[in-house]
């Protein structure tokens, strides 16, 4: 079973792209979900691919969407654990030089097989229920 992280897109694309690359570099699978989806659709997608962790942007609408989707997931599906949640770091968090930058060790690289899933995408759901694409 692969390790999966869900990300909600934010308006600041440099931080978002950095997060996606960091998740891939750490050996996890990325599942970016559009914030235009309903809480029910997000809960369905989380359940469908067994998401383990959710990174959420700091915009209130995104936080509300995440909270509602995870609440639905916990109410509807008792067999699957609700993913843990972390805020997405801001540009300043990531790219402002600090004294401790020199002390950080690189994350070891784990070479993947060509058959391993690196990223999930989802359909728009405009014609039927949302579908995951890997």
CATH code for position 49: 3.40.50.980
Number of domains in the chain: 1
Range of the domain at 83: 4-96+107-133
Compute the distance between CA of residue 130 and CA of residue 109 in angstroms, rounded to an integer.
33
Structure pTM?
0.74
Positive or negative, the Cα torsion across 60, 65, 70, 71?
A: positive
17-62, pLDDT tens digit by residue?
Answer: 888 888 888 888 888 888 888 999 899 888 888 888 999 988 899 8
Is 102 among the domain residues? no
Q: How far apart are the first and last CA of the chain?
A: 14
| C-alpha to C-alpha distance for 125 and 134, rounded to whole angstroms | 16
Can you say whether the dihedral through the CA atoms of 18, 121, 10, 44 is positive or negative? negative
């Amino acid at each position: 079973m692969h390790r999966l992280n869900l990300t909600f897109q934010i308006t600041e694309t440099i931080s978002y792209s950095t997060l996606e690359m960091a998740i891939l570099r750490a050996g996890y699978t990325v599942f970016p979900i559009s914030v235009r989806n309903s809480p029910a659709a997000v809960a369905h997608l989380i359940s469908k691919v067994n998401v383990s962790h959710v990174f959420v942007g700091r915009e209130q609408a995104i936080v509300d969407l995440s909270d509602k989707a995870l609440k639905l997931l916990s109410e509807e599906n008792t067999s699957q654990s609700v993913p843990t949640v972390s805020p997405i770091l801001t540009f300043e968090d990531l790219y402002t030089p600090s004294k401790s930058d020199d002390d950080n060790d690189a994350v070891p690289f784990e070479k993947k097989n060509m058959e391993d899933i690196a990223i999930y995408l989802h359909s728009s759901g405009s014609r039927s229920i949302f579908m995951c694409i890997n």
